[in-house]
Chain A
């Protein structure tokens, strides 16, 4: 039972990680491989605000979310915009930036900048305390993750279905030419999408990082997991995202309980590769361009 609950929590964590990436890729077809880097950066910036400048918790969070949003928009505006339309270049470029950021954070000794290495960076959880129920003991932070996941998904769904900008973004995703003809500015939409996507990455960082610590390696695993969820669940489908995330979450929790964390990676990568081969558009995917249209 406990495994189940923690599995669900894990699944929700996957949801949080994936929603930012899925939003940007599903909506504006931009594979933002810098997602993991932005995640980690949020963590470090928040930590710096809290510890080095002593700002109150909530203010640090808001500020770092803003910063990360801007960073995402900057990445699009200055870099991705020039390689728009060439998907391989988009991947390579955004991943290169991600690498630069992540490895840069690990630098030591340049101009007195001591890199962010080591387990010492911890973000405090929002609420302390633990609930004891009949079946399982669970801490508030984890419950918060579930709540946050649902909230984010719900608000994203509402946003893209009812808000003018959200609808415009969906239009862009479905048929870029038609959207352009209606006066929707592709670049501005992409900027917005990337800004929101980065903020989502940031929010997931804030929610999840207090469970462990802030480190650079998680940048890669977050990216991989986000991709896994999107690939397995299919892009453009919120249902697919949740289901895939839950499947992955439960599977990895069970795997950890049974075999140890090393096999986790095997599972995740193996699943990605398997799904990409068998059903490239994902379990619920709506990307028909993977089939030929003659």
Chain B
């Protein structure tokens, strides 16, 4: 007697099929089907600073934004280009130290230090990571992970930039609203920009590099150069985040190179939905406030990130956003075999 076996069948929803290609604009229903989730997320993000109770949570939001940026940069490099770079803390540190130092030693104003910190920091990060680019996957990850530690040791050992005390005070933003909205706008810009970029021809080249870089070499393209472009773009994001943190917290020190900044974005990325770039940002906006809530429990936060990370890698590697998208676009039901 054969056992009754069930399997899950997934079908695209009717409306999904009706919104393919040109048909998307055939009526308001189709348009709203496509727009609703995107517009919804954007609007929620824009309204968040207004909804949250109080200045404290606005600060949390801004910091969540920092993690979101790091997560987006990690996602871009890892999922779109195939470069697993666990050195988020290095980017934050470099961006933070450059703009902080410019402000502290040269008294440059915020609207100058942040761009310089971003562009210059990205340049520095790319140059320093340049020799590591030919390394195969896991070694590249390990090396980039080591960079923040090396820099911390250097700074402390050589007592550079005031060593353990760090640079303080650093001029902050005129007010928190500007800071928070700057962060949010930039997150949106980066997400749109990166997604657009990956749809262009160069995005295809990135995908090629991730897939099979030998064939890319055989196509007459210097893969290392392509990786440099990608790394520079990702560092722009990371260093901006660093510059932001420096001015937002008014302090620059070796804490900018904390392991937290390297690990949390990965957790956020995996949890949120690797490859989508929106997912990691979403993940960051969930994990960061969560860890704030648990601040009272000390190191439990880190334990939390790690368990979340492990849980998602093992059981739901597609991440929250992809899962939600799947539910939105498809109907599932059990079918008897």
Task: Name A's B-contacting residues (CB within 8 A).
Answer: 31, 79, 82-83, 87-89, 91-93, 95-97, 99-100, 103-104, 106-110, 115, 224, 227, 231, 259-260, 262-263, 265-266, 269-270, 272-273, 276-277, 280, 289-290, 292, 294
In the complex, the answer to whether A265 meets B298 with C-beta atoms within 8 Å is no
Residues of A contacting B143 in the complex (Cβ-Cβ under 8 angstroms): 272-273, 276-277
Contact across chains for B157 and A262 when beta carbons are under 8 A apart: yes
Complex Cα spacing A100 to B263, Å: 12
Residue of B nearest to A292 (CB): B214
Q: How far is the CB of A35 from chain B (nearest CB, A)?
A: 13
In the complex, B142 has a CB within 8 A of chain A: yes
| Total number of B residues with any Cβ neighbor in A under 8 Å | 41
Q: Are B153 and A91 in contact (CB under 8 A)?
A: no
Instruction: Name 14 interchain pairs, CB-CB below 8 A, sorted by A.
Output: A79-B314, A88-B78, A92-B309, A96-B310, A99-B263, A227-B142, A262-B153, A263-B157, A269-B150, A270-B150, A272-B143, A273-B147, A276-B143, A277-B143
What separation, in Å, do the CA atoms of A82 and B146 have in the docked complex?
A: 26
**Minimal Cβ-Cβ distance residue in B for A82:** B314
- How many Å lie between the Cα of A164 and that of B270 in the bound state? 40
Q: Which residue of B lies closest to A265 (CB)?
A: B153
In contact, A88 and B139 (Cβ under 8 angstroms)? no
**Complex Cα spacing A224 to B153, Å:** 13
Q: A231 vs B156: C-alpha distance in the bound complex, in angstroms?
A: 25
Please report which residues of chain B, range 119-154, place their CB below 8 angstroms from some CB of chain A when the two chains form the complex: 131-132, 135-139, 141-143, 146-147, 149-150, 152-154
**With the chains together, A115 CA to B137 CA distance in Å?**
37
Give complex CA distance A13, B214 in Å. Answer: 41
Residues in chain A near residue B305, CB distance under 8 A: 96, 99
With a cutoff of 8 Å between Cβ atoms, the chain A residues found around residue B132 in the complex are 273, 276-277
* Complex: A290 Cα to B141 Cα, angstroms: 15
A91 engages B142 (CB within 8 Å): yes
5 A-B pairs with least C-beta separation: A265-B153, A262-B157, A269-B150, A96-B306, A100-B306
Which among A82, A103, A292 has the greatest number of chain B C-beta atoms within 10 A? Answer: A103
Known contacts A272-B146, A276-B139: does B303 contact A99 (CB below 8 Å)? yes
Q: Is the CB of B303 within 8 A of A104?
A: yes
Q: Is the CB of B314 within 8 A of A91?
A: no
Contact A87 B153 (CB under 8 A): no
Q: Note all chain B residues with C-beta closer than 8 A to A224.
A: 146, 149
Question: Could you list which residues of chain B lie within 8 angstroms of chain A, going by C-beta atoms?
Answer: 78, 84, 86, 131-132, 135-139, 141-143, 146-147, 149-150, 152-154, 156-157, 214, 259, 263, 266-267, 270, 297-300, 302-303, 305-307, 309-310, 313-314
Complex Cα distance, B301 from A208, in Å, reads 30
Task: Contact check, A280 vs B136: say whether CB atoms are below 8 A apart.
Answer: yes
A91-B141, A104-B303 known; A96+B263 contact, CB < 8 A? yes
Shortest distance from the beta carbon of B45 to any chain A beta carbon, whole Å:
27
Cα of A289 to Cα of B136 in the assembled complex, Å: 9
Contact B313 A87 (CB under 8 A): no
Q: Is the CB of B154 within 8 A of A110?
A: no
Task: Choose from B84, B131, B147, B303 the contact partner of A88 (Cβ within 8 Å).
Answer: B84
Given pairs A87-B137, A91-B142, 16 additional interface contacts (CB within 8 A): A79-B314, A83-B314, A96-B306, A97-B306, A97-B310, A99-B306, A100-B306, A103-B300, A106-B298, A115-B299, A262-B157, A269-B150, A270-B150, A276-B135, A276-B139, A277-B131
Q: Could you tell me if A273 and B150 are in contact, using CB atoms closer than 8 angstroms? A: yes
Q: What is the minimal beta-carbon distance from B156 to any residue of chain A, in angstroms?
A: 6
Q: Which chain B residue lies CB-closest to A263?
A: B157
CA distance A266 to B149 in the complex (A): 8
Question: In angstroms, how far is the closest chain A Cβ from the Cβ of B172?
Answer: 30
Bound complex: CA A88 to CA B83 (Å): 10
